[in-house]
Amino acid sequence: MDLLRFSTAGSVDDGKSTLIGRLLYDTKSIFEDQLEAVEDASTRRGEGYVNLALLTDGLRAEREQDITIDVAYRYFATPKRKFIIADTPGHIQYTRNMVTGASTAELAIILIDARNGVLTQSKRHGFISSLLGIPHILVAINKMDLVDWSEEAFDQIAAEYTEFAEKLGVDDLSFIPISALLGDNVVDSSENMPWYKGSTLLHYLEHVNVGAHRNLVDFRFPVQYVIRPDQDYRGYAGRISSGTIRPGEEIVVLPSRKSTTVASIETFDGALEEATAGDSVSITTTEELDISRGDMIVRPGNLPNADTEIDATICWTSDEPMQPNTQYWLRQTTRETKAFISQIVYKIDVDTLHRDEVSQFELNDIGRVHLTTASPIFFDRYAMNRETGSFILIDPHTQNTVAAGMIRSAVRSVEDLPAAEPETDIRPVSPDVVWEAWNIELAERERRNGHKAAVIWFTGLSGSGKSSIARELERRLWNAGTQTMLLDGDQVRHGLNGDLGFTPEDRTENIRRIGELSSLFFRQGAFVLCTFVSPFQADRERARELLPEGRFVEVFVDTPLEECEKRDVKGLYERARRGEIAHMTGISSPYEVPENPEIRLETVGRGLDEVVAELMVRLRDLGVTA
């Protein structure tokens, strides 16, 4: 039976605790003595009804004030699924508590009082949920009984919140009208809202896709402990953060970069033929290496980033304000190193999503910073791997956790980018024209299409396999009902870009036009697949910047030049080596390897079906496809 972790959030008195109490009560997940205690407390308070919120408001201060202050965890199960609920506070001063409770959730329930509509706190909690990478957001519009079960009130709130959520790049957004107090649409369908044809809240929780966003491709095993019971056994214990591993596979240990082979994978219950993300195991190796806590075991062809300069988003959780250039301990997976905040890039005004310049962070502030660590850490972007992309900062004197962070990437400066002519950095606009807003919004198109819009940008040398992979992927998506558009380099140069050659300047203009074109198809709600050599990093980044964050996926088809030349059915490489073709990428023109592509595909020795199958898994892990 699988497990769903979800959190609840909302403004004060929106009914979070009542909803959880109703779920526990209607699913018969509470003991008789618990119910009797709640009934007695409700009678003493003179409430006239059984206040199910008291099942979760466990602190005396919470019961006195009728609010949630700390995170309350509750557990229940149905015949279809197990659940762990984190009931998080609604008050702005308890933002850090919400971040803590939602950090491991796969789904967030945001409650909105139907009488009050979308409030600032409703938006705040949606923003934090998206920031934490929670793949599913369910907006439960509560207290429908107090607006006479109005369909119009429900539709108005759903439309307003959908418009706000478009700015956040939320993967999956759903709405359910409920009355937590009376139980309508919580476990049983409501007879008071016959206009609502969707599922109940419990049915949604039982059937929402669990685990689709777990990274099962990039193997990451942070070593937690070395097991050495005698001279004949040495095992490396820990919890697999992501990916899978089998005995006999080659591995590399970081930071030593020593390679070896997995001899066995063992648990308390015996040896495993395969271990996967979330499993706690002990790995033994064929060679004895110097491996200790804080090291990370990975595959040699699938390495994490390693850097001492980190670009991250953090939530400040300490009562004491941040002190830039003060030394903290940074703990990421099982690795711990000294670090300091070298730059505050901006603080996010969670109410407006504006970026503010500040000199320090205070309690519950959220923003972007640059960190410098004393030794390299091994990480993936948080959007790709929540386990290796997260960290905490610890005050070395008090041992208190002062911040929780999500890694965006390694720090990059302007000097790291390739030089470009000034005019190529400006998005051209014809004179005497005014921008017109889109007639039909993207969210409306996506709802009709039944899937998200995205741009999948395949880059790699000529002959790497980009077009073959993209064409097969498109066929599978199309067969599944996805609205697709494939843009191929040869096709666009037969018309739209037929006036361009292959000089560096023409290549930049070629990709600029394709970027704009793919953006238009994206706004139409399509799943756009672009297959272009696109040799320059800056050109690919400009195409990325035209889309919302998380909707541009760079796929680096990593095929060595010598292999590409073997596959050269058009004879282009041979002609280039004879000097008959100028500006041939890989021969007489450079190719800038993607620095941080969302997906890297190796094709040597692999069939098309295998590569496309991996790609589809990776796209699901990123939340781009269902």
DSSP 22: H
Report residue 468 as tokens.
């073959």
Report residue 349 as tokens.
């005004």
Does 255 sit behind a cis peptide bond, omega within 30 degrees of 0 on the bond before it?
A: yes
Determine which helix (DSSP H) or strand (DSSP E) holds 487, and give its type and residue range. strand 484-488
DSSP, residue by residue, 505-534: HHHHHHHHHHHHHHHHHHHTT-EEEEE---
Asked if residues 164 and 118 have their Cβ atoms less than 8 Å apart, the reply is yes
Strand bridging mode 233-239 / 258-267: unpaired
CA pseudo-torsion sign 112, 117, 122, 126: positive
User: 3-class SS at 306?
Assistant: strand
Asked if residues 562 and 620 have their Cβ atoms less than 8 Å apart, the reply is no
Q: How many CB atoms lie within 10 A of CB 123?
A: 21
* Set 242, 462, 534, 589: catalytic member: 534
- Cβ within 8 Å of residue 118, ≥6 positions away: 112, 157, 160, 161, 164
Q: Based on the residue annotation, tell me whether 534 is a catalytic residue of this protein.
A: yes
Report residue 459 as tokens.
């880059």
Class of residue 182 by CB neighbours under 10 A (exposed 0-12, middle 13-18, buried 19+): middle
Asked if residues 201 and 216 have their Cβ atoms less than 8 Å apart, the reply is no
Euclidean distance between the first and the last CA atom of the chain, given in angstroms as a whole number: 21
Asked if residues 392 and 403 have their Cβ atoms less than 8 Å apart, the reply is yes
Q: Cα torsion for 578, 579, 584, 589, to the nearest 10°?
A: 120
Give the whole-angstrom CA distance, residue 486 versus residue 382.
29
Dihedral pair phi/psi, residue 534, rounded to 5°: 35, 70
Report residue 257 as tokens.
């970069």
The number of CA neighbours under 13 Å toward the Cβ of 389 is 24
Of 614, 616, 626, 619, nearest to 598 by C-alpha is: 619
The one-letter amino acid at 434? V
Give the whole-angstrom CA distance, residue 464 versus residue 560.
8
Of 431, 449, 522, nearest to 514 by C-alpha is: 522
Asked if residues 611 and 396 have their Cβ atoms less than 8 Å apart, the reply is no
- Residues carrying an active site annotation: 534
